[in-house]
Amino acid sequence: MTAGQIDAILPFDLAVDTSLQVVVTRNGAVSAPQPVNLVSSQPGVFTQAQTGQGIGAIVILHPDGSWAIAGNGNSAKAGDTLEIYCTGLGDATPRLIAGYPAPDSPVSNAIDAVTLTIGGVNVPVAFAGAAPKFAGLYQVNATIPAGIASNQQAPLVLSQGGRASATVTVPMQ
């Protein structure tokens, strides 16, 4: 959490396509109600700078079993698998309990399909769902195909239900 930011996990049984009034109370001060529209999902990729910009919170898994965190000289290439850490993928199956860690078995898959583009190229998603043993954290796993241009700031976007995440970057070689 940073100044001016509130982190919350919403219950999965709230009705989507509705509006709720949110009120914040802090140190005895109460905010005016603010309307919040609820949608089934809104992907958001975590970033290393914790600002929503720059290099995503991404682990690169190499075919030899080694791994690295994207950035600082670590680039992904064809054949590598990315673990992209994000939020906002909505309901999952088996259903999660908001605020409780996701089980590691069976894994909870996002109900709505997630798509991924890197450098404008569609990348097949192998898994999109709750990150095991964490509450409110999702991960998307995808293996990099051939054909993505080398770029130390390749744009990466997750989409779900017609809603796209903000663009983050991933170094590609």
156-173, pLDDT tens digit by residue?
A: 999 999 999 999 999 999
Half-sphere exposure for 118 (CA within 13 Å, toward CB)? 32
Q: Within a 10 A sphere around the Cβ of 128, how many other Cβ atoms?
A: 25
pLDDT tens-digit map of 13-31 = 999 999 999 999 989 999 9
Helices (DSSP H) in the chain: which residue ranges?
none
- CATH number of the domain at 44-172, out of 2.40.160, 1.10.3470, 2.60.40, 3.30.70? 2.60.40
